[in-house]
Structure 1
């Protein structure tokens, strides 16, 4: 057997360290002030004892932790306590002092009076007399420490969802002041996501208001701020940026004293998608992450993308939607013939000698693209012939001629057509 005892430096990270340990072994338990892990079956999986310790203690987003090893859980715990005192652990278990054995703490004065100060001294005493004088719990702990008795603990398990509350160091009067505490909670969220093998899609920040009334107006007890991502993620850097942007736009109704973070929606995590070629694995922020962060900063209504709708009229086909919406990001693209930019309203063109003009006569480059639609709506249907034309001053243009219903079947009277400019090409 091989046990590791951990002592987190921050009290509010105790639960997160338990989740972190579960990535190494399912046999994890809190015993007194330390987190105990049985890792003998996991060392081979991680490539040896040193690699396992490096992953557990060094390659972690959590704060630093003190640790010690032992053949049994109680020996590891005893070694950790000696380490905290700056005392070197004896090579033999018999030399461990009794005050590092929890079961012996309440009996230390009596044991010291009879000259019993180490585990070896205690083990050399008659077992029957020890059991009658001090109870069976002391003997059971001693046997477990020497690996002569199975060690049974209440193993910790992962919760189904993330939900943590943190007391603020000082009252926060503005939303950005919550960011320091939010970062600590997001770090623990990442540990939970990694342990559960899930990516977060939606989370919620909730802060507790310190006042119940302000200027005679009753206040709610809590305020909430939801945060969503387009794709499941474990990227703590992106989540920090996104939460920071949302908090930068939020306002507190009153000073806050507690901050809570909980997961609203998660999905199974399949890892980051990477290609075989170096150019496919570009460094930096992904496009959807940039869109989410920019939408949080400027507002979703100010970061939009065109969406193609089922209508042959370009002004109705091209509509705008918030770029961070999943539907907008997967929208069907329009025909490549249509221009990327439409005018707010079609511009009537001057016609000279049956030719439309826009900074000079326009040269039609394509055959007509006829659109006859809207007959089911009130009013006249849209009867149009579209062309791609070239202007000497403006470049490529998207123009059309409008055919009144009375001339829909008469293509000879071209002088009666009206011409319009509707779109521009880059």
Structure 2
């Protein structure tokens, strides 16, 4: 058997207090609770138990997995989730490891003979009897162990005798091991009444740290969780209030790191008005998925930088609203302006978005519709820039939002900055006469299109994409000639 005892300085609420900063703690580390520290330790061994002020780990079954005692202890200190340093000790028996830990925390020297020379104050079962034992001249574990068994049990009870039997290997050692719940659901009382939603984030960070420990221990990633807070008032200005308010945070990919979820929660809380001051917080998991750690490559070309695409979409969507980040959807239509529509990008994220590690795309130009390099757009100032995905390789890069009517010469030649010279065409399109879906019919013009498309060049050597309405469209200018329109531009 091999036991490791860990101890953090805990406050009255059972959280690690910052009496002694830990140099290994990450800069964004939060203050974990006592329960969160126990869940964190479950990644090293399934045998974890809180005994008084210390956390005991029985690691004999996992030492080989972690590479030995030194490697495991180094890993424990490096992954310490608290903001304070952790004290540790090792022994072949749990209560001896706990006694050695207490000696180290108090700054006292360790005796050479263990457990016989250990002070009685380091034995939990002896603490209720320290005054009497001291008057009897008993100072160490060995002094009490030498007493006759039957009179000792009658005078001090069976607990002290059993603890000494465990220390000398005469009785087995057992503890109530920590067990993970099937679902994460924790509540936290706020230190003071909170009147604005962003102030909840500081207390919510502690619950998120507990959630991270629970996810790591269960090898799960969270897809959705709910943060709710209890309102202090039942009435406000004569109207009834609900007992709680809540926010549901969802992500396209399972997450274990809380940095992204904390940013999403901060953005959502910044736009959430509170109906009344809050007194309690509650965090519960809604949906989780098995966690698969991303593979790491040593090749330089595989070292991607920047946020994954789904992280960018969720963060901007939380800040500007889900409808502000949109992705194109293809439609079965031959009219260029009707070939695609837009829908919220969060609803269209594929399950492998986090693995693609795509960088955020550049903003679309104000001038019109485009074929963007990444299937994503962000609305800004009401702009309605879009994209047209055309099957023809000769289709232009940009489409105008609305086709621009062209002037005609006396001989019917179209003009735009001068007479246009037709280079290719016609490419005939006649579509829009079939029944459409109700939602698409509301967005698109129900009028059929009968057009002949050409690539033209003006005197400034600019390439334009123009079309002429055919006779079947029955729309002509005042002179009875077919109308010409400019619809696209070439870069």
Distance 1:178 1:390, change over 3 A: farther
The structure 2 residue matched to 1:81, chosen from 99, 102, 122, is: 102
User: Where do 5+ consecutive residues of structure 2 fail to align?
Assistant: 16-32, 354-374, 377-387, 437-445, 475-479
In the alignment, structure 1 residue 9 sits paired with structure 2 residue 74: no
Structure 1 or 2: more helix by fraction: 1
Do the aligned residues in 2 keep the contact of 1:341 with 1:423 (CA within 8 Å)? Answer: yes
> Which residue in 2 is equivalent to 1:344?
401
In the alignment, structure 1 residue 280 sits paired with structure 2 residue 302: yes
**1:7-406 equivalent positions in 2, closer than 5 A:** 7-10=7-10, 11-12=14-15, 13-64=33-84, 65-92=86-113, 93-327=115-349, 334-335=389-390, 337=392, 338-339=395-396, 341-352=398-409, 353-377=411-435, 381-391=448-458, 395-405=462-472
Distance 1:85 1:406, change over 3 A: closer
- Please give the secondary structure, in 2, of the residue aligned with 1:320: strand
| Deviation of the 1:28 alpha carbon | 0.8
CA-to-aligned-CA distance 1:337-374 (integer Å, 9 cap, x gap) = 45554433333222333333333333444433333323
CA-to-aligned-CA distance 1:241-265 (integer Å, 9 cap, x gap) = 2222122222111121222222222
| Deviation of the 1:66 alpha carbon | 3.0
Distance (Å, rounded) in 1 between the aligned partners of 2:331 and 2:314:
24
User: Where do 5+ consecutive residues of structure 1 fail to align?
Assistant: 408-414
CA-to-aligned-CA distance 1:399-426 (integer Å, 9 cap, x gap) = 332224378xxxxxxx843322334445
Distance 1:217 1:80, change over 3 A: farther
Do the aligned residues in 2 keep the contact of 1:43 with 1:52 (CA within 8 Å)? Answer: yes
| Deviation of the 1:313 alpha carbon | 2.2
Do the aligned residues in 2 keep the contact of 1:20 with 1:56 (CA within 8 Å)? Answer: no
Do the aligned residues in 2 keep the contact of 1:68 with 1:79 (CA within 8 Å)? Answer: yes
Distance (Å, rounded) in 2 between the aligned partners of 1:276 and 1:392:
54
The structure 1 residue matched to 2:487, chosen from 414, 422, 426, is: 422
Distance 1:198 1:339, change over 3 A: farther
Do the aligned residues in 2 keep the contact of 1:8 with 1:63 (CA within 8 Å)? Answer: no
Distance (Å, rounded) in 2 between the aligned partners of 1:233 and 1:297:
19
Do the aligned residues in 1 keep the contact of 2:449 with 2:473 (CA within 8 Å)? Answer: no
| Deviation of the 1:213 alpha carbon | 1.7
- Please give the secondary structure, in 1, of the residue aligned with 2:116: helix
Let me know the Cα RMSD of the aligned residues: 2.8
Distance (Å, rounded) in 1 between the aligned partners of 2:489 and 2:184:
50
| Deviation of the 1:268 alpha carbon | 1.4
- Please give the secondary structure, in 2, of the residue aligned with 1:324: helix
Q: TM-score, normalised by structure 1?
A: 0.88
Q: TM-score, normalised by structure 2?
A: 0.77
Distance 1:303 1:40, change over 3 A: same
The answer to which of 207-216 and 19-28 deviates more is 207-216
Distance 1:94 1:393, change over 3 A: farther
Distance (Å, rounded) in 1 between the aligned partners of 2:135 and 2:400:
97
| Deviation of the 1:122 alpha carbon | 1.0
Do the aligned residues in 2 keep the contact of 1:199 with 1:268 (CA within 8 Å)? Answer: yes
- Please give the secondary structure, in 2, of the residue aligned with 1:44: helix
Do the aligned residues in 2 keep the contact of 1:96 with 1:119 (CA within 8 Å)? Answer: yes
Distance (Å, rounded) in 1 between the aligned partners of 2:285 and 2:308:
22
Distance (Å, rounded) in 1 between the aligned partners of 2:320 and 2:281:
25
Do the aligned residues in 2 keep the contact of 1:95 with 1:119 (CA within 8 Å)? Answer: yes
The answer to which of 397-406 and 306-315 deviates more is 397-406
Aligned length: 420
The answer to which of 236-245 and 357-366 deviates more is 357-366
| Deviation of the 1:74 alpha carbon | 0.7
- Please give the secondary structure, in 2, of the residue aligned with 1:95: coil
